[in-house]
Chains A and B, each alone.
Chain A
Amino acid sequence: MKRVYVKEEWCLGCHLCEYNCAFANSNERDMVSALKGKPWVSAVQIEESADVCFAVACRHCKEPLCVTACITGALTKAEDGSVRIDRDKCVGCHSCIMMCPYGAVVMDGNHVANKCQLCLTNKFGQPKCVEGCPNGAIVYEER
């Protein structure tokens, strides 16, 4: 399956991926109305130190541990291989956070788990973080 892959040598730590992610999953028409003056959460997160930075998002594991631990059935492995979340079902028990080896599940302000769904479920259809990355540090491809 096509996944989001990270090339840390090209990551600038600009954090645009985070903003694009939050916008893409906001259902708003533009980024200003999506993010200005509102709390928001991104399913991709930049980790950075003085000399290294990179983006981390759900790896859509072959055998996702988060899915095995989800007590509500909100997390599922879809036919296409992506790991999806039905946020309506989530009760905020954090089991997925406890299980994800990569720290790729985050909680939003309403205590609902949030994770990358590759923008397959929003109007963009493919990862907005990749489209918005100014330096090709995140790519969406088959490997």
Chain B
Amino acid sequence: MAIQYNNPLFEVVRNYDRCINCRVCERQCANGVHYFDEKAGKMLSDETKCVDCQRCVCLCPTHALKIIPNPNSFRKNNNWKQSLLCEIYKQAESGGILTSSMGNPEEFPIYFDKILINASQVTNPSIDPLREPMETKVYLGSRPQGVQKDASGKIICDLPVHLWLNMPIMFSAMSYGSISYNAHKAMAMASKKLGIFYNTGEGGLHEDFYPYGANTIVQVASGRFGVHQGYLDAAAAIEIKIGQGAKPGIGGHLPGEKIVGDIAKTRMIPEGKEVVSPAPHHDIYSIEDLRQLVLSLKEATAYTKPVIVKIAAVHNVAAIASGIARSGADIIAIDGYRGGTGAAPTRTRDNVGIPIELALAAVDSRLRDEGIRDNVGLVVAGSVRSSADIVKAICLGADACYIGSAALIAMGCHLCRTCHTGNCNWGIATQKPELVKRLNPEIAAERLYNLVTAWNHEIQEMMGGMGINSIESMRGNRLMLRGVGLNGKELEILGIKHAGE
């Protein structure tokens, strides 16, 4: 193609007064952007390959680099945005589906940012978490329906199978294959140290990580990859994945070249053969079918492990959740439309699903209305970006949150959204050995530990500010929230008042 319709998205700005030709940028760029020109005696760049992952910028020892958006612009058009034109050029060239990674970056409302948290003044005084106990431990699972006594009149203390979390945070499902061995190891290590859980996603559980089983949630997805008795037995809980926020309603496709070595072995699929993770579970067409799988998994693990059912936040999420709460599942996980992914069709990622805040409020309200909220624990995912988002989610009715993107960011991800190329310069979303080794799991685990610990401190601070000393007292406490700039319908769904009310 002689005409270059698509120009580089970014510009590499190199301060030649600072550049010492150390070539660290060149060695660290898996995309081959930087190179040393012997003749000119200086570093040059091929910006067409740059994805703005910031690896070179972060490692440049003299801070000589900047990556900025290419200021080249098409004639302004509020309807035909430049990105749309570029996408059309791309498709006109390739004839293929547009592919993207990570969460929906488009300009839809972010409800978390339109919700504000309360604090105590004078009455119901606030609590100083540095001085007083502040409980962030979370019980996740079905709760006892009432007091039960044995024949002698003693109270039966047996709780239904459940998970205990030291804090209301877990690492989202990210498969070994979509992310690297080292990324998985880091999450496993951090979960153990934090007393929380990470989730295998649908890629199976690498044999090296069985020792972390007590902090592992294993997923059973439509492809059943990597599912066997040992896998189920190793885990603390089992999650049936129905859908994913980034790409509700569609399955996955793994090209053969990614099915190599340990990945094939862990997924229990032949090496080099492309596989499809089906869009639906072909054995689940109703809540009754789902119940069969829930109970099968429980039966397989002797009713010792809670079962989670994960769905994407879609239009009738409340009704679906109501069904799941009656299916025998212990926990429902809902994934909002901003959730990340290793690869998704761009149009699906950016146009399918609904915001997690609205889905959560709708589900929590529906389950309460039906008197079955205590049948299940409720976990939300799909762009939980900070401790404030977590506090808001819990006030809206969640028991805990899954963090995926935030965890990857803690490990170095800069959201360049090119996971699907397999060239992750940060060693996270790649299987290339030379790139995978860039993520030292010891360091990554410590960063995850630090992040979650910091967030937990912040949660305690905000709880204390509200005069609440236990997560349990905050859950579903929507009085602690107010909306700003939201219309009546939005406030009604969220079940909160407007600021000032």
- Cβ contacts under 8 Å, B18 to chain A: 32, 36
Min CB gap A40→B, angstroms: 9
Report how far A28 CA is from B18 CA in the complex, Å: 14
Tally the A-B contacts, defined by beta carbons under 8 Å.
54
List A17-68 residues whose CB lies under 8 Å from chain B: 19-20, 23, 30-32, 35-36, 51
Q: Which residues of A contact B442 (CB under 8 A)?
A: 136
Partner of B28, one of A10, A12, A132: A12
Residues of A within 8 A of B85 (CB): none
Interface residues of A, Cβ cutoff 8 Å to B: 9-10, 12-16, 19-20, 23, 30-32, 35-36, 51, 132, 134-137
In the complex, whether B443 has a CB less than 8 A from a CB of chain A is: yes
Closest to A38 in B: B20
Indicate if the CB atoms of A32 and B17 lie closer than 8 Å.
yes
Asked if residues B61 and A36 are in contact (CB atoms below 8 Å), the reply is: no
Known contacts A13-B27, A15-B27, A134-B59; is A31 also within 8 Å of B438 by CB?
no
- Interface flags for B436-452 (1: CB within 8 Å of A; 0: not) read 01111011000000000
9 tightest A-B CB contacts, nearest first: A136-B440, A10-B440, A35-B20, A135-B440, A36-B20, A32-B62, A19-B22, A31-B62, A136-B443
Does B61 contact A19, Cβ atoms closer than 8 Å?
Answer: yes
Interface residues on B, range: 20 to 34
Contact (A12, B437) CB under 8 Å given A31-B62, A134-B59, A136-B442: yes
- Digitize B1-36: 1 where CB-to-A-CB distance is under 8 Å, 0 elsewhere: 000000000000000011110111001100000000
B440–A15 CB distance below 8 A: no
A30 to B59, CA, bound (A): 16
B38 to chain A, nearest CB (A): 16
Partner of B438 from the list A12, A20, A35, A51 (CB cut-off 8 Å) is: A12
CB pairs A–B below 8 angstroms (13 shown): A12-B27, A14-B24, A14-B59, A15-B22, A16-B22, A16-B59, A19-B61, A23-B61, A31-B20, A32-B20, A35-B20, A51-B433, A135-B439
Bound-state CA distance A132–B344 (Å) is: 37
Given contact pairs A20-B61, A32-B62, A15 touches B437 in the complex (Cβ within 8 A): no
**One of B19, B59, B437 near A10 (C-beta < 8 A):** B437
